[in-house]
Structure 1
Amino acid sequence: MAVVRRDLLVAVRRKAEVLTAMFFFVVVTSLFPLGIGPEPTLLRTIGPGVLWVGALLATLLGLQRMFAADHADGTLEQMALSPSSLTLMVLGKTVAHWLVAGLPLVVLAPVLGLQFDLDGASLLVLVAGLLIGTPVLSLVGSVGAALTLGVRGGGALLSLLVLPLYIPTLIFGAGAVQAQASGTGAGGHLSLLGALLALSLFFAPWATTAALRIALE
């Protein structure tokens, strides 16, 4: 909790970084309706995928900074030497990243979904999917951020490592909204998203901790 509180306070002092991700999400998702035109059927078809891709890319923007500042000023080494569990502290930093980079996107998604003529039930499924899926993006992204810590050109390498791992979350998240719109029900897709979240929550902090120890050595 102390790590979460600290990272949130740092994020409040660096509002530009938080607002950049939100602005990016809004701009990317708003350009598609303008470019494609006001065809309701087409907008409803592409809307879930566009919103999920926008959320994925917006989350990716802040991953490189998850551990970079702490590594630069020596805080990460102190965390590793602390008697407290480094894995729990890594989980705290991941939770803080989601609260800053993921949760605002969940809040904005229903408003942006109106641009794609999504009905109320589809918007609820969209929010539920993002609420389950965006933590997966942060957890998986933390592993990539740790693996590329201190590497020259780490931003491009981070994208190459993380984006393929994001594909299942993208497929099931967008598929849930499309399944709801088609009348087949979104329960299966949301269950698979929940399974991805459970696996990520269990394995990602351990993998991130191991990668951070290698980076520190």
Structure 2
Amino acid sequence: MIALLLRDLRLAVRAGGGFGLGLAFFLLVAVLVPLGVGPEGGTLAKIAPGILWVGALLACLLSLDRIFALDFEDGSLDLLATAPIPLEGAVAIKSAAHWLVTGLPLTLAAPVLGVLLHLPGNGYLWLVASLALGTPALSVIGTFGAALTVGLKRGGLLLSLLVLPLYVPTLIFGAEVVKRGAAGMAVEVPLLLLAGITLGAAAVLPFASALALRINLR
């Protein structure tokens, strides 16, 4: 399984659409919002938690269609389905690889972009914490959507339509953690809800994704 993880990391870097594209998109969001809204620090500080989380969510969405696409095209997905390791384990590894090349770089870069949006000082720790806790859920949910649409021509739009409604709870609670943290308020409730979403998605969706892959490979 470690070999599969390393293979997916290499493919993500070589095939493009990995952390470079996601980071570039995240940076563009942080730069364009002040140009559209205005440079007033007070206004930017109010909307910074939501903007940063929306940017991270959309950046994760960019590379979802590549999770299974390359394996489906070269036949590797059929081999994974018949390999000794459970297909559910292979799906979990692919979700982890997607998070390592997308979610983790976005989490590490978020404080720098928070400066551009005048995020209050108290919010930086909670921004990193919420993204570190919430972006794995984005990868797992996105992997489920990619499994449903694997093999479809031009399935990227359908994938986005399927995944975005499932992303909404993570977005709401992730932004709420940053908002409350920046205001000096208690963050335990949204943080626990965010953790619950991530743990629930990680526990259930690999099995659903594996089932969807088996159906699509028949």
1:26-79 CA-partner distances (Å, limit 9, x unpaired): 101211012222212211111011111111111001000100100111100001
Aligned partner of 1:116 in structure 2 is 117
| Structure 2 CA distance for aligned equivalents of residues 128 and 154 of structure 1 | 32
The within-5 A match list for 1:84-99 is: 84-99=85-100
Report what 2:149 is aligned to: 148
Query: What is the CA–CA distance in structure 1 between the aligned matches of 2:26 and 2:119, rounded to whole Å?
Result: 18
* TM-score, normalised via structure 1 length: 0.96
Equivalence map 1:1-217=2 (5 Å): 1-15=2-16, 17-217=18-218
> How far, CA to CA, are the matches of 1:56 and 1:42 in structure 2?
22
Deviating runs (4+, > 3 A) in structure 1? 14-18
Distance 1:159 1:27 in 2: 20
Q: Unpaired segments of 5 or more residues in structure 1?
A: none
Cα distance in 2 between the residues matched to 1:25 and 1:15? 16
How far does residue 17 in structure 1 lie from its aligned partner after superposition?
Answer: 4.2
Structure-2-length-normalised TM-score: 0.96
Total equivalences in the alignment: 217
Tell me the distance in 1 between the aligned counterparts of 2:17 and 2:212: 28
Which letter does structure 1 place at the counterpart of 2:215? I
SS in 2 for 1:120: coil
CA drift of 1:116 comes to 1.8
- Write out per-residue CA displacement over residues 106-144 of structure 1, whole angstroms, 9 at most, x where no aligned residue: 011000001122233201100000001000000001110
Percent same amino acid among aligned pairs?
50
AA aligned opposite 1:66: I
Deviations 1:125-173 (A, max 9, x none): 0000000100000000111000011113311100110000000000000
- Structure 2, gaps ≥5 residues long: none
